[in-house]
């Protein structure tokens, strides 16, 4: 019978989208790793399972969204939220005629996220508050970087630096404080280009270096504003995979950027069963 999938990306942070309305798929860690493998699977930074919220055992209490984004990192781990993934997910719902373009809610483990799917396929997501939760240090190639810890539903450590970020070796996970981040952390390195524009590289928990991280861009803007004593503002963030716009207000934050559906197809049963 095969299993329907789509492949998409948001600023080149790429995902396999699995249609599983009734929550019947057995999405094991091994299967996620195989799907995300760029040699033996489809290749992606993560998996977005499209499932009705009522079939998700660990959906937060009070979830109102009809559709839930069950997000997995490429290593099989579960994360609370994915800012690029939620844009791709929203666009998928519209293309698959599971939602109408315009405004609707997407369920996530970090709560329901209001999204607006624009006519050009770009998506604005109300990401909720980006909370500054402390300070810590990340280590790259033996060098320590001061970081601001930000909670965007998932954990981030944002390091604003004068060092040329293109030169950092992010093939190895940056060192971090395991007491402050017992479940790991996404680490962002930021160059401030101007009052209104940043450049960012990121090492994602459960994935490695990616070409973009939506929650990371929100954390980055929150940290930069916090450093300069500003309560809110709007900045453009340039990542290797493109550009997004982040707005931080007193109560919430928004992320706007592209969401591209690349392909759709069917996974063979034999591949799915063999992993």
Residue 91 binds ligand LBFN2T5F, judged by CB under 6 A: no
Supply the minimum distance, in Å, between the C-beta of residue 203 and ligand LBFN2T5F: 9
- Angle of helix 214-227 versus helix 83-95 axis, rounded to 10: 140
The number of residues in the chain equals: 275
Give the three-class secondary structure for 113: strand
User: How many chain residues touch ligand LBFN2T5F (CB under 6 A)?
Assistant: 17
Nearer to ligand LBFN2T5F, 80 or 272 (CB): 80
Please name which of 48, 45, 47 lies closest in space to residue 13, comparing C-alpha atoms.
45
Task: Say if residues 212 and 202 touch (Cβ distance below 8 Å).
Answer: yes
Residue 47 binds ligand LBFN2T5F, judged by CB under 6 A: no
Please name which of 234, 223, 60 lies closest in space to residue 131, comparing C-alpha atoms.
223
- CB count, 10 Å around CB of 250? 7
Residue 208 assigned as binding residue: no
- Give Rg (Cα) of the chain: 18
- Interaction pattern, residues 117-156, with ligand LBFN2T5F; x per rule: CB under 6 A: -------------------------------------x--
Residue 83 binds ligand LBFN2T5F, judged by CB under 6 A: yes
Residue 79 binds ligand LBFN2T5F, judged by CB under 6 A: yes
Has 82 been annotated as catalytic? yes
Restricting to residues 205-234, name those near ligand LBFN2T5F by CB under 6 A. Answer: 205-207, 210, 213-215
Sign of CA dihedral 39, 43, 47, 52: negative
Distance CA 60, CA 149 (A): 24
Task: Say if residues 6 and 263 touch (Cβ distance below 8 Å).
Answer: yes
Residue 84 binds ligand LBFN2T5F, judged by CB under 6 A: yes
Residue 39 assigned as binding residue: no
Has 213 been annotated as catalytic? yes
Residue 186 assigned as binding residue: yes
Task: Say if residues 49 and 27 touch (Cβ distance below 8 Å).
Answer: yes
Give the three-class secondary structure for 186: strand
Residue 73 binds ligand LBFN2T5F, judged by CB under 6 A: yes
- Per CB under 6 A, the list member of 95, 186, 247, 253 interacting with ligand LBFN2T5F is 186
Task: Say if residues 117 and 91 touch (Cβ distance below 8 Å).
Answer: yes
Q: Give the range of 29-37, 77-85, 99-107, 221-229 binding ligand LBFN2T5F by CB under 6 A.
A: 77-85
Task: Say if residues 71 and 47 touch (Cβ distance below 8 Å).
Answer: yes
Please identify every residue annotated as catalytic. Answer: 82, 213
Q: Which residues are annotated as a binding site for substrate?
A: 13, 73, 83-84, 154, 186, 204-205, 214-215
Instruction: Note the residues at the interface with ligand LBFN2T5F (CB under 6 A).
Output: 13, 73, 79, 82-85, 154, 186, 204-207, 210, 213-215
């Amino acid at each position: 019978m095969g299993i329907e999938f789509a492949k998409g990306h948001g600023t080149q942070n790429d995902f396999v989208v699995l249609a599983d309305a009734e929550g019947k798929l057995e999405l094991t860690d091994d299967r996620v790793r195989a799907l995300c493998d760029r040699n033996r699977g489809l290749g992606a930074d993560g998996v977005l399972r499209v499932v009705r919220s009522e079939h998700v055992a660990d959906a937060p209490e009070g979830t109102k969204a009809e559709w839930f984004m069950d997000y997995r990192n490429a290593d099989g781990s579960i994360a609370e939220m994915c800012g690029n993934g939620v844009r791709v997910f929203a666009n998928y719902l519209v293309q698959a005629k599971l939602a109408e373009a315009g405004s609707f809610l997407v369920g996530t483990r970090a709560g329901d996220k209001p999204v607006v799917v624009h006519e050009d396929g770009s998506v604005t997501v109300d990401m909720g508050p980006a909370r500054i939760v402390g300070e810590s240090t990340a280590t790259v190639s033996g060098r320590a970087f001061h970081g601001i810890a930000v909670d965007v539903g998932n954990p981030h450590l944002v390091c604003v630096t004068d060092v040329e970020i293109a030169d950092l070796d992010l093939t190895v996970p940056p060192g971090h404080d395991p007491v402050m981040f017992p479940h790991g952390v996404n680490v962002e390195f930021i160059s401030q280009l101007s009052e209104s524009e940043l450049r960012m590289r990121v090492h994602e928990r459960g994935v490695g270096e990616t070409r973009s991280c939506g929650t990371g861009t929100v954390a980055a803007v929150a940290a930069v504003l916090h450093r300069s004593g500003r309560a809110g503002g709007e900045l453009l963030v340039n990542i290797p995979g493109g550009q997004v716009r982040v707005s931080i207000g007193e109560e919430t934050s928004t992320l706007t950027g592209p969401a591209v559906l690349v392909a759709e197809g069917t996974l063979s049963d034999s591949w799915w069963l063999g992993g």
